[in-house]
C-alpha cells in the first residue's frame, strides 16, 4: 500500500503533481468543460504537431463523459453555427449520443448541426467509425435519438441540395434514407424521397458539373480549349452561378484562362459586396488563402483582385469590436515550429497563419497596438493599421528573425525591461510555451514573468488565444486577470467582448439556445 497513506500525500513534492505540456514545461490543467471547449473549436481531426486526429477524438470522448450533456449540446451547436466548423460538431453529436439518453437533447443537437445534405451521410459514417470501427453494415443498430435527429434533418433539403451532395462513399444518401426512415412533410417531399430511393435525382446544374462536362470534350487545339474555358468562366461569372466560396477558390483559374477585364471587375464587385460578404460566412483565413493563391500569378488584374479581397475581409469583420486609443494592446504571435502545421491535409493554411490573421484583425480594429512575433526571441514589428492581408505578408517576410522555439515569456520580459505598461496582452499561440534556454524545466517561466509584470502594470490583463487545443494552459486561467479563448474564427472576438463584460468563455457558450 504505497499510495493510500496520509504520510505520502504530505511529503510528496508538489512538482510531482504539476501537469506538463508537450514540451515538458510546467502547465495548468483545465476543467473538463474548458478543455473540451478549447479542443473542439481548434479541431479538424487531422494529425497535428503534438496529437493525432484519433487521439483528439479519444480525448473528446473522455471529456464529454465528464461534462454536463446540455453544455456539450450547446458547444456542438456553437461550433457549427458560430465557428462554422463541420466535422467536429457532427462527431460531438455522435459522442453525446453514447453518453446521454432519455430526452430529445441528442436529436435536437443532430438536427441543428446537420446544415448540409452531405452532413447526413457524414454523421452516419462518423457513427460507424466510432461505434463499429468503420463497419457501416452494422448501422441498422443506429441510436434512436440520432435516427430521429437525422430524420428531422432530411426535411431541411430540396432536390437540388440532395443531388448536389449525392456522392459515392461508405454511406450514400440512399443508404441514409433506408436507415433513418424520414417522414415526408407533404406529397412533394415523398416524391423526392422516392427519387433518392430509386436513384433518380435530377443532375444539378452547378459550376462543377458545367466545367466537368466541358473537360470531357475534344478540342482541335490547346487554344480552342482555352477559349472554350474562358467563355465558360465568363458565362458563370455573368450569371452569378459560382457562389462566394467558389469564387474565392477559383480566382487563379479565372486569370489563367484570361477572362475579360470586364468580368474580373464584376468578380471584384461581387467579392467586395457587403451583402454577399456577410451572407457567405467565410472564415478569415479563406480570404488569406485566396490572397496567397494570387501572389504568384503574373497578370495585370492580380492587384485589383487582391484589393477586393482586402476590402472583403474588412467588411466581414466590420462588427468586430476592438479597443480605442486609450487602451494599450500588445499582440504577440507565436511563430514556433509547432505552429507550422496545416489546418488540414489539403490546406496551405497553417496554424501559424490563423494566429497571424486573428492578431492582425485585432490590430486593425484597435487604435493603440504594439505588434510582434516570438520564437526563440521576441521582436516588435511596426505595421500599418490600414491593411490586414498585407501585414500578414510582412510577418511572413520576417518570420525567421526570431527563430522557432516557443519562448512566450520573452514578450513579458521585454515589456518589463522597457517598463511598457499595457492594458491588454494578447498571445496567439498553441499554448505549448516553454523556456528553450533552460535545461531544467521547473516552474512556468511565463508565470514568473507575469507576476513581475503585474508589479509595473497591476491593471493589465492577459489573454491566451488557444489555437492548438491540446488541453493545458501555460498560466492558471482561474486567476483574475488571465483568460483563455479558443478557436480559428473571428467569432473568438465575441468571446473577448463577453470577457470584457465580466463573463467567461463557458458562460458565453451557455447562452446558446437549444
SS3 state at 481: coil
468 and 351 belong to one structural domain:
yes
Confidence of residue 440 (pLDDT cuts 50, 70, 90): very low
CB 290 within 8 A of CB 265: no
For residue 11, being part of any structural domain is answered with: no
For residue 209, being part of any structural domain is answered with: no
Phi, psi of 472 (to 5 degrees): -135, 150
How far is 488 from 283, CA to CA, in rounded Å? 8
The contacts of residue 14 (CB under 8 Å, 6+ apart) are none
Indicate if the pLDDT at residue 197 is higher than 50.
yes
- H and E: helices and strands count for the chain: 25, 8
Give the pLDDT confidence score for residue 9 in this predicted structure. Answer: 35
379 and 257 belong to one structural domain:
no
Element (H, E) at 466: strand 461-466
Indicate if the pLDDT at residue 465 is higher than 70.
yes
310 and 342 belong to one structural domain:
no
Confidence of residue 372 (pLDDT cuts 50, 70, 90): very high
For residue 213, being part of any structural domain is answered with: no
SS3 state at 482: strand
- Domain boundaries, position 303: 233-316
113 and 248 belong to one structural domain:
no
142 and 250 belong to one structural domain:
no
For residue 347, being part of any structural domain is answered with: yes
154 and 55 belong to one structural domain:
yes
310 and 406 belong to one structural domain:
no
For residue 157, being part of any structural domain is answered with: yes
For residue 220, being part of any structural domain is answered with: no
342 and 450 belong to one structural domain:
yes
Confidence of residue 204 (pLDDT cuts 50, 70, 90): confident
For residue 164, being part of any structural domain is answered with: yes
Query: Which letter, b or e, does each residue of 346-361 get, where b requires 16 or more Cβ atoms within 10 Å of its Cβ?
Result: eeebbbbbbbbbbbbb
Q: For the chain, what is the domain count?
A: 3
- DSSP codes, 322-388: ---TTS-EEEEEE--GGG--BSSTT---BHHHHHHHHHHHHHHT-SSEEEEEESSSEEE----SS-S
Distance of CA 444 to the CA centre of its chain: 28
Indicate if the pLDDT at residue 303 is higher than 80.
yes
More confident: 3 or 279: 279
For residue 222, being part of any structural domain is answered with: no
Amino acid at each position: 500500500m504505497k499510495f493510500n497513506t496520509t504520510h505520502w500525500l504530505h511529503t510528496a513534492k508538489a512538482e510531482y503533481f504539476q501537469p506538463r505540456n508537450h514540451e515538458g514545461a510546467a502547465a495548468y490543467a483545465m476543467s473538463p468543460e474548458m478543455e473540451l471547449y478549447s479542443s473542439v473549436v481548434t479541431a479538424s481531426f487531422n494529425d497535428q504537431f503534438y496529437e493525432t486526429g484519433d487521439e483528439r477524438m479519444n480525448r473528446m470522448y473522455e471529456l464529454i463523459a465528464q461534462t454536463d450533456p446540455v453544455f456539450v449540446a450547446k458547444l456542438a451547436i456553437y461550433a457549427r453555427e458560430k465557428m462554422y466548423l463541420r466535422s467536429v460538431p457532427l462527431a460531438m453529436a455522435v459522442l453525446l449520443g453514447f453518453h446521454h439518453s432519455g430526452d430529445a437533447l441528442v436529436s435536437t443537437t443532430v438536427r441543428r448541426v446537420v446544415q448540409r445534405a452531405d452532413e447526413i451521410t457524414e454523421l452516419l459514417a462518423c457513427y460507424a467509425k466510432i461505434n463499429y470501427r468503420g463497419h457501416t453494415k452494422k448501422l441498422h443498430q443506429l441510436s434512436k435519438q440520432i435516427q430521429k435527429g437525422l430524420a428531422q434533418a432530411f426535411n431541411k433539403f430540396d432536390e437540388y441540395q440532395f443531388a448536389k451532395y449525392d456522392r459515392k462513399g461508405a454511406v450514400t444518401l440512399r443508404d441514409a434514407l433506408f436507415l433513418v426512415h424520414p417522414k415526408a412533410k407533404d406529397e412533394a417531399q415523398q416524391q423526392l424521397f422516392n427519387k433518392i430511393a430509386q436513384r433518380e435525382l435530377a443532375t444539378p446544374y452547378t459550376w462543377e458539373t458545367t466545367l466537368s462536362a466541358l473537360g470531357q470534350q475534344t478540342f482541335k487545339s490547346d487554344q480552342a480549349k482555352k477559349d472554350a474555358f474562358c467563355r465558360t468562366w465568363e458565362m458563370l461569372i455573368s450569371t452569378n452561378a459560382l457562389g462566394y466560396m467558389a469564387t474565392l477558390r477559383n480566382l487563379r483559374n479565372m486569370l489563367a484562362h484570361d477572362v475579360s477585364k470586364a468580368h474580373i471587375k464584376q468578380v471584384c464587385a461581387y467579392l467586395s459586396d457587403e451583402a454577399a460578404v456577410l451572407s457567405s460566412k467565410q472564415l478569415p483565413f479563406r480570404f488569406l488563402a485566396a490572397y496567397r493563391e494570387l501572389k504568384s500569378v503574373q497578370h495585370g488584374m492580380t492587384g485589383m483582385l487582391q484589393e477586393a479581397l482586402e476590402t472583403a475581409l474588412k467588411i466581414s469583420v466590420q462588427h468586430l469590436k476592438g479597443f480605442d486609443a486609450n487602451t494599450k494592446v500588445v499582440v504577440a504571435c507565436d511563430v514556433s515550429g509547432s505552429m507550422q502545421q496545416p489546418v488540414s491535409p489539403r490546406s496551405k493554411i497553417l496554424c501559424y497563419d490563423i494566429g497571424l490573421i486573428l492578431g492582425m484583425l485585432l490590430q486593425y480594429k484597435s487604435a493603440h497596438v504594439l505588434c510582434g512575433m516570438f520564437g526563440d526571441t521576441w521582436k516588435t514589428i511596426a505595421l500599418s493599421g490600414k491593411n490586414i492581408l498585407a501585414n500578414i505578408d510582412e510577418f511572413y517576410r520576417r518570420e525567421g528573425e526570431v527563430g522557432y522555439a516557443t519562448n512566450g515569456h520573452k514578450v513579458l520580459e521585454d515589456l518589463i525591461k522597457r517598463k511598457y505598461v499595457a492594458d491588454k496582452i494578447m498571445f496567439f499561440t498553441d499554448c505549448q510555451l516553454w523556456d528553450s534556454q533552460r535545461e531544467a524545466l521547473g516552474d512556468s517561466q511565463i508565470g514568473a514573468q507575469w507576476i513581475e509584470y503585474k508589479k509595473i502594470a497591476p491593471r493589465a490583463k492577459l489573454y491566451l488565444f488557444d489555437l492548438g487545443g491540446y488541453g493545458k494552459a501555460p498560466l492558471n486561467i482561474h486567476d483574475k486577470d488571465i483568460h483563455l479563448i479558443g478557436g480559428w474564427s473571428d467569432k473568438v472576438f465575441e468571446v473577448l467582448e463577453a470577457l470584457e463584460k465580466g463573463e467567461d468563455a463557458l458562460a458565453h457558450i451557455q447562452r446558446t439556445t437549444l
